[in-house]
Amino acid sequence: MVVKGFYMAKKKILLLSDDLRMSSGVGTMSREFVLGTLEHYDWVQVGGAIKHPDEGKIIDMNESVRKDTGIKDAYLKIYPTSGYGNPDMIRQITNMENGVDAILHYTDPRFWGWLYQMEHELRRTTPIFYYNIWDDLPYPRWNEPFYESCDLIMNISKQTVNIVDNVCQIKPRTDWDNTYIPHGINENNFYPIDNSHKDWGDLLQFKRNVTNGKDYKYIVFWNNRNIRRKLPGDVIMAYKQFCDMLPKEEADKCALIMHTQPRDENGTDLPEVVKQCCPNYDVIFSHQKLSDKELCFLYNIADVTMNMASNEGFGLGTCEALMCGTPISVNVTGGLQDQCGFKYKGEFLTYKDYSWVHSLHDEKKWKDNSDLTWGEWVKPVWPSNRSLQGSIPTPYIYDDRPRSEDFADVLKEWYDMGDEERQRCGKLGHEFVMSDEASMSATAMSNLFIKHMDTAFEKWTPRKRFTMFKA
């Protein structure tokens, strides 16, 4: 970094998250904000995976990222690990790297609980930052020790900012250390494609390959992991119920494309669900690993992308769809609320408004509230049932379940609009995610990371080795 003619050493940040080379949502976003800030920071990562094939290696990414980004002094090393690391690993990496200036944790805090158990050791020399993904109420009071151990908390949803404020209300946090940074989609990888675009011919060929040459007039797209909270079976039922509303000759020209593993032990056997519950309508499974460009093509051939998840921190799939100019239908829960562009009395809801909103999930309170509006690019569906789920590590969290019949209705609404109107709405969605109001591009996310982490560095003071209490 050069400042007014002299060189300033870049801050070095140790990231704890899914390996940024992986395709998980956390891995993908880690990659975007690391690559997007390489000119400003040096990065070292403890890259987690369930059974990491590179465990024990040191992956020096400097040559490749310098070539790809054009940043001559880019610095990125990955220390792969199976699972979620341990204190000795942090100590060893810090020693090998001649110290780090901050530790950034990104994913569920329970998976890296040991980090917070050693915070008194770490925060004597190094601040702890956290990119928070918690997705639903009631307020997770048991997370307070995690939150209070951080010097900066950045949150992926407006609702999550309020969650932290409420959990930490005994020690209220200020704006600089509890803020809002939504996930950002790479605008160079995901973009609208029309018949004037250079990729149009490739898109048509890709569509023929995916659909096996059948000329579908209406395509519904779903891109999620086949796990229970994503409700893949309900997606199939919603699609069936939508098709049941159409004359047979029109239903035969519709397709549901599901980009997922058709069989997953954490979900269900989707081909069997189709065979038994939706035998008369076309469901296409896309389960091969796709490049970003191929995934961009899938969003572009879709007429609408949907997400019925009963818990969702952000919902990358529908945001990627909006970046590609494809309209969406989503369940009103978690971070999916932010993609709807909700306004109250004509003003966009900000993360500060969630101090009184809390969540928009309540159908009776919000669905028919004339003061609440949303963007033309989305047809939101309010959950009809809210149950309290829990486990030993997560004693309670709401499960917001929408009705498949309600999603069938909004799929029909999109269908009845026609191509031209859907494209107009999709264009508005693209403009929204690229706007300063939404800040859901990878560039915007990276800039916000720099802004808030630099502020935290300026304000941070080392913690004392111990605290004295008068007995």
pLDDT digits (tens, 9 = 90+) for 59-78: 999 999 999 999 999 999 99
**Domain housing 120:** 2-183+445-459
Check whether residue 433 and residue 452 sit in a common domain: no
Whether 270 and 236 have beta carbons less than 8 Å apart is answered as yes
CB-based contacts of 345: which residues, under 8 Å, 6+ apart? 371
Give yes or no: residues 160 and 224 share one domain: no
Count how many domains the chain has: 2
How far CA 165 is from CA of 56, 132, 150, 420, in Å, comes to 39, 12, 13, 43
**Closest to 236 measured CA to CA, from 196, 274, 194:** 274
Same structural domain, 49 and 154: yes
pLDDT of residue 185: 98
6 confidence band (pLDDT: 50, 70, 90): very low
User: Are 427 and 449 found together in one domain?
Assistant: no
Q: Is there a domain that residue 468 lies in?
A: no
- Inside any domain, residue 192: no
| Average pLDDT of span 24-50 | 96
Of the listed ranges 157-171, 225-239, 315-329, the one predicted with least confidence: 157-171
**CA–CA separation, 72 vs 396, rounded Å?**
48
Same domain membership, residue 451 and residue 393:
no
Interatomic CA distance for residues 293 and 189, integer angstroms:
6
Residue 268 belongs to a domain: yes
Are 306 and 420 contained in the same domain?
yes
Token digits of residue 104: 């950034």
Q: Tell whether 245 and 352 lie within a shared domain.
A: yes
What's the pLDDT score for residue 1? 56
Phi, psi torsion values for 38, nearest 5 degrees? -60, -30
Task: Give me the phi and psi of 338, to 5 degrees please.
Answer: -70, -30
- Answer yes or no: do 258 and 400 share one domain: yes
Burial of 54 (0-12, 13-18, 19+ CB in 10 A): middle
In this structure, are 415 and 298 located in the same domain?
A: yes
Query: CA dist 243 to 184, 236, 454, Å?
Result: 34, 11, 52
Residues 244-275 pLDDT 10s: 999 999 999 999 999 999 999 999 999 999 99
User: Does a structural domain hold residue 30?
Assistant: yes
Segment 296-321 shows an average pLDDT of 98
Looking at the structure, tell me whether residues 398 and 453 fall in a common domain. Answer: no
Give how far Cα 225 sits from Cα of 47, 82, 284, Å: 21, 21, 15
Residue 191, domain member (yes or no)? no
Is residue 247 domain-resident?
yes
403/453 same-domain check: no
Q: CATH no. for residue 236?
A: 3.40.50.2000
For the four alpha carbons of 350, 152, 453 and 68, in that order, the dihedral sign comes to negative
Reading the block at residue 73, the tokens are 């002094």
CB atoms within 10 A of CB 215: 8
Please indicate, yes or no, if residue 146 is contained in any of the structural domains.
Answer: yes
Same domain, 173 and 207: no
Per-residue tokens: 439: 């800040």
Tell me whether residue 194 is in a domain.
Answer: no
Q: At what angle do helices 25-35 and 62-69 cross, to 10 degrees?
A: 70
